[in-house]
Amino acid sequence: MPERRPYVAANWKMHKTVEEAEAFLGEFLPRAPGPEGPEVVICPSFLALRAAVAHCAGTAVRVAAQNMHGEAEGAFTGEVSAPMLLEAGVEAVVLGHSERRQLFGESDEALAGKVPAALAAGLEPILCVGETEEARDTGQTDAVLERQLQADLAEVESGGLGRVVVAYEPIWAIGTGRTATPEQAQEAIGFIRDLLRARGGGDATRIVYGGSVKPGNAAELMAQADIDGALVGGASLDPEDFAAIVDAA
């Protein structure tokens, strides 16, 4: 089985101005691991991407966007494309976050175009999937994950699966302080890995957990066999907390 390098990403959502992003990186970067340690990715707002890239230059920390359009250019007011992100020095992109799916109507159909577009451009997609509380309570978790993954990765060939990072983020655990137990997270992520294996990939794919990850619960979650890291929202806004989570990976 290939060794999977741990992966920890900070999803800042709609937080941090350029000035605040720079202040964070000024504190965090001296504590960040080098190329031998866990892979660390910071996901600021579009406007703070260039400043973050400039600050992270010469370190092992990489920068990701939180969304992109599937087309390279066109009449899509308010959107940003893969070539624009690449030009800014961005190396990865979060796709299909549940807030985008729930609040902004992001569809599996759109994601089926975005994931291969990101790969083709040389951006690493961080594809988010996860069930609602209702789906979990009614035993639909696996069905939801399978539907999302089959749809969102439909146009990705098996050889490309190792270049995708999948974030399992149960919606009921995001920003709620209610973390999935390590067993629940492992079970869902093990299921995702089996799905990817059935598609001819999976062993090389980093699959991370997201949903109220904190310094106090990160180590136990990331110690699970199939959990390769974390996508961190709230706790990633504080350089001390995020550094502690990275140290646990």
Give me the residues that bind ligand PGA (CB under 6 A), please: 11, 169, 174-175, 210-213, 231-235
Active-site choice (97, 99, 106, 124): 97
Least distance in angstroms from the C-beta of 244 to ligand PGA: 14
Q: Which of 39, 124, 131, 169 is catalytic?
A: 169
Report the SS3 class of residue 141: helix
Measured at the CA of 236, the angle between CA 99 and CA 140, to 5 degrees, comes to 40
Catalytic-residue membership of 169: yes
Shortest spacing between CB 145 and ligand PGA, in angstroms: 16
Extract the tokens encoding 43.
Answer: 């996901």
DSSP strands (E only) in the chain: 7-11, 39-43, 62-65, 92-95, 124-129, 165-168, 206-210, 229-232
Helix H or strand E segment including 240: helix 239-248
Toward ligand PGA, which CB reaches closer, 229 or 234? 234
What are the two backbone dihedrals, phi and then psi, of residue 30, each rounded to the nearest 5 degrees?
-60, -20
CB of 180 to ligand PGA, least distance (A): 11
Residues designated as active site: 97, 169
